Structure 1
Amino acid sequence: MIQHQTVTQHRLASNDPRYAEVVDFMLYEAELLDDLKERQWLTELVSREIVYQVPVRETVERARGFGFSANTFHLNENLGSLESRVARGETLYAWAEDPPSRVRHFVTNIRVREHGDEDLLDARSNILIYRTRQDQTNPQMLSGERRDVLRREDGRLKLLQRVVYLDLTVIGTHNLSLFF
């Protein structure tokens, strides 16, 4: 896993072409995921070396740290496990998501910083996922912060690492078959 640097990195201004490229990447990613084009998302936007994690949140005092487990995850995935999830969704056996949920990704507060390697960019964004299932009248909402590392591969940005820090300590959804 690529560690997020703790030193202050150069923040990219909104008029920097790299900033605009990251915003475009994130908006296109949200469109693909909202449109249930998960195979296209995986093949076009995800690096083969992906690390994709959702650590478990702990309620702790400030003195005890950030409040997330370093060793326990709701999701701790790589390309193989993401590929399996996408492939399963394409079968007749994904009962938990058939018919599929209706999902909207709201991505906001995008901040981009240089990583130290010219092919890498760090991006932080806030995410709100609004999800409805079947005929339910109460939506499910998941919010948190995404910390991404994007890498330029063959001239295009690809998601190399995503760590999602959810705001919830208890996830009130019946499955986590969605992508953040």
Structure 2
Amino acid sequence: MNMQLHYEVTRFLTREARLLDNRQFEDWLELLTDDVVYRMPVRMTRESKDPSGKDNAMAYFDESKKSLTTRVKRLRTNSAWAEDPPLHTRHFVSNIEVEPGDKPDELNVCSYFLTKRSRGVDHNVEQIFGERLDILRKVDGEWKLAARRVYPDQSILTVMNLSMFL
């Protein structure tokens, strides 16, 4: 991949993290294609002959743009108790690798992530980390997220809930 393309992808992922950290969820939704697939399979601890534990039919979430939009709308209501008071979140993205996609207007992007979350009144910090495999698609001259598979490194998640977006 050329440097310019890597830079564009890095800027896209950095902007996405900033929007999520600033709770600009509606703007974040604009970064997604209408047919986005947003999935986090359950990570399984496997024997050494299959160490990845990634290919699992069960998922913590398996969402579409419609379900993500519904989640965002719910966060703006009084019934989103998991987010009341709102949590402080930081998304860190690193180790970004960009490869050509299966289609001419798509890229396959692998990145590592670390998401930390806390309440201002609580000393506990929750974190989830792992790898993301994304498909970015050029739509009307802009990169959009067409698919994301999130693979947490933890077999047992230590977060209270999955109300955050990864």
The unaligned stretches of length 5 or more in structure 2 are none
User: What's the CA shift string for 1:60-116, capped at 9, x where partnerless?
Assistant: 112135213421000110111101100000111111101111000010000000113
The corresponding residue for 2:81 is 95
- Give the aligned residue type for 2:25: E
The corresponding residue for 1:119 is 105
- Give the aligned residue type for 2:155: T
The corresponding residue for 2:71 is 85
- Give the aligned residue type for 2:158: G
Distance 1:69 1:121 in 2: 21
Number of residue pairs the alignment of both structures matches: 166
Residue 24 of structure 2 is aligned to residue 34 of structure 1: no
SS in 2 for 1:51: strand
The unaligned stretches of length 5 or more in structure 1 are 1-11
User: What's the CA shift string for 1:121-151, capped at 9, x where partnerless?
Assistant: 0101000001102422121111000100000
With the length of structure 2 as denominator, give the TM-score of the two structures.
0.96
What's the RMSD between the two structures over aligned residues?
Answer: 1.1
Could you list the runs of 4 or more consecutive aligned residues of structure 1 that deviate by over 3 angstroms after TM superposition? none
Distance 2:122 2:40 in 1: 26
SS in 2 for 1:62: coil
Identity %: 39
- Give the aligned residue type for 1:177: S
- Give the aligned residue type for 2:111: S
- Give the aligned residue type for 1:118: P
